[in-house]
A and B are shown apart, each in its own frame.
Chain A
Amino acid sequence: MNASADLRERYDVAVVGAGPAGLAAAGLCARAGLATVLLDEQAAPGGQVYRSVTASPLGTNTVLGPDYWRGAALAREALASDLHYVPGANVWGLLREGEIAVSLGSRSRLLQATRIILATGAMERPFPIPGWTLPGVMSAGGAQILLKSSGLIPQGRTVLAGCGPLLWLLAWQYLNADVRLDAVLDTAPRANWRNALRHAASFALSPYLIKGLRLILAVRREAQVIGNVAELEAQGSESVEAVVYRTSRGEERRLPVDMLILHQGVVPNANLALSAGVTHCWSDAQLCFLPVLDAFGSSNVPGLSIAGDGAGIAGAEAAEARGRLAAVAAIRAIKPQLVLAAEEKAARASLRRFERGRAFLDVLFRPPPRFRLPRGETLVCRCEEVSASEVLDAVALDCPGPNQMKAFLRCGMGPCQGRLCGLTVTEMMAQARGVSPQEIGYYRLRPPVKPVTLAELAGLPTTEAAVKAVARE
């Protein structure tokens, strides 16, 4: 492992993201003797699932659980190999074939790589309920990051709401840390259980079955879990004061809260891949756009592959396996004499094992339409403060797609660049027009996918061709 100062201009392989997929991919490439750079925007390796695993102030205590701490070995093993690990590196664009624009310490530079592996992971699905922008309303992933990286736990009246494995995991971790939960509001419709049953046989063989059941039962024993929650609203003026919920049986209650923590699953963090021109298709199973990839994660863009949850949500262990497969393809492309048959076989076996039963989880934790398709004054675009009714009004004016809607409403044009509204807008437009989300499409993304200052752009090295393009004779 090297220091970040002596970044080279050219590498065999550049890996973006140091979560399980990126660590596994970069480690394998480096061990095969490829010049490998691992670019990560965080200060420490681990991605979000193993966030701060080498730097957490919680040491090795029992709050976070053994599945978290297994990330430490993965990080140590990868970083022990001869790779160039660059923390605090903000990759803001893939500009042309093999060229990576990265911001590092308020300075941007361009790197070249023969192969690029994007391991940018997942982010949480938007959860647009009334009041979700109020201070005191936070995503479960965000709350868990505070726990992992700073040891912060909520105090005061705390309610968790939504569905998905992460919500239960966070509830369990909070109970381990003696946090009192006022309620867990479960928004997974009962029908999900019925629909998931046909995938139960494969899930019975999943390594996640026993773990998941233990987790949910432990939370149910210690916290008040309210099921079949069909409506949610956060209320308050300067910050959240209460959550109002209604169950599918029509029971309505108002709980005073200091913190409302929301979650309804994760989706690929796809802005960089989309901006590079990677073809994505709508997945009805995961309710998001997924990249179209071959069995090694290679995309339609030459030399560019995607590993980990950015290739489709499958969890940390599957991400690691996909990272190894992307690495195998990169190594073979650069050093054809290396066959790596055993590595490929082991990675495929691991991937099969951890993907088993994923369909069951997708159906069981499928967020219901009510929480994906907001109505009325509920904000869709948090940045530009565009409401659901404004989006639907634009559709009624024959606005054909999310990109045209920008001209109507500036929806998706704020600093988050559509990350917190993109899927909502696509699904709302699809439903209103009676077509598939695939037909509606997604925001057209362009670099920079993260904000950089003009000074950074101006400070980029200029080529002769670039000067000629703008200079007058």
Chain B
Amino acid sequence: MFRRHTEARRPALTIRIDGVATEAREGDSIAAAMLAAGHLIARKTPVSGAPRAPYCLMGVCFECLVTVDGVGNRQGCMVLVRDGMRIETQQGKREYGA
């Protein structure tokens, strides 16, 4: 999928994606950090449950919507990672009480 160019060195930090500690780099957007970590699928759609991944990376397509530190439907490509950030992928439409 994606790897980092050998010249792209920036300090590492740790985020949690669906509870799993994952390495990211300073300056990464959440979407970039997920792709670099091999986490291709960002969400499943509320309409049919189809898997989706970041598409435009510039805040236009809304495919990379994730839950960030408990706040749902944040654009993963528009939010930079912070050490300790908790990211949850969104699985289809939200159910009552979920």
Contacts and interface: CB of A to CB of B under 8 A. Distances in A.
Interface of A: 41, 43, 48, 52, 55, 57-59, 61, 63, 90, 123-124, 133-139, 141-143, 145-147, 149-156, 177, 238-239, 258-259, 269, 382-385, 414-416, 419-420, 450-451, 453
Interface residues on B, range: 35 or more
Nearest to A132: B55
B35 A146 contact: yes
A451 B74 CA distance: 9
Contacts of A238: 41, 51
Given A135-B41, A153-B5, A155-B1, A142 B32 contact: no
Contact of A137 (B10, B55, B59): B55
A382 B61 CA distance: 9
Contacts of A142: 54-58, 77
Contacts of B32: 146, 149-150, 152
Contacts of A156: 1
Interface string B48-78: 1011111111111111010000010100011
22 contacts: A41-B59, A52-B27, A58-B5, A90-B78, A123-B58, A123-B60, A124-B60, A135-B51, A137-B53, A146-B32, A150-B36, A152-B32, A154-B2, A155-B1, A155-B2, A238-B41, A239-B51, A382-B52, A383-B47, A385-B45, A415-B65, A453-B71
A151 B4 contact: yes
Contacts of A136: 1, 40, 53
Contacts of A419: 60-61
Contact of B48 (A52, A385, A451): A385
A416 B75 CA distance: 11
Contacts of A123: 56, 58, 60
A152 B57 CA distance: 12
A43 B1 CA distance: 25
Given A150-B25, A150-B27, A152-B3, A239 B35 contact: no
A57 B9 contact: yes
A146 B2 contact: yes
Nearest to A137: B55
Nearest to A43: B80
A279 B85 CA distance: 43
Interface in B16-42: 25, 27-29, 32-33, 35-36, 40-42
Contact of B62 (A52, A59, A415): A415
B54 to A, nearest CB: 7
A451 B65 CA distance: 12
B57 A141 contact: yes
A143 B77 CA distance: 12
B61 A420 contact: yes
A41 B5 CA distance: 26
B75 to A, nearest CB: 8
Nearest to A156: B1
A135 B73 contact: no
Given A146-B2, A150-B25, A152-B2, A141 B53 contact: no
Contacts of B35: 146, 152
Given A135-B51, A152-B35, A385-B47, A145 B57 contact: yes
B95 interface: no
A63 B4 CA distance: 13
B45 to A, nearest CB: 7
A272 to B, nearest CB: 12
B98 interface: no
Given A136-B40, A416-B61, A150 B28 contact: yes
A146 B1 CA distance: 12
Given A151-B5, A153-B4, A156-B1, 18 more contacts: A41-B78, A57-B7, A57-B9, A58-B8, A63-B5, A90-B78, A123-B56, A133-B50, A145-B77, A147-B5, A150-B32, A238-B51, A239-B41, A383-B47, A383-B62, A385-B48, A419-B60, A420-B60
A153 B50 contact: no
- List 5 tightest A-B contacts by C-beta distance, closest first: A151-B8, A135-B53, A142-B57, A415-B62, A57-B8
The winner among B7, B33, B36, B71 for most chain A CB atoms within 10 A is: B7
A154 B3 CA distance: 6
Contacts of A134: 51, 53
Contacts of B5: 57-58, 63, 147, 151-153, 177
B44 to A, nearest CB: 10
Given A124-B56, A239-B51, A150 B1 contact: no
Nearest to A44: B27
Contacts of B53: 134-138, 239
B66 to A, nearest CB: 12
Contacts of A58: 5, 7-8
A309 B28 CA distance: 26
B60 A416 contact: yes
A460 B7 CA distance: 44
Contact of B25 (A57, A61, A155): A57
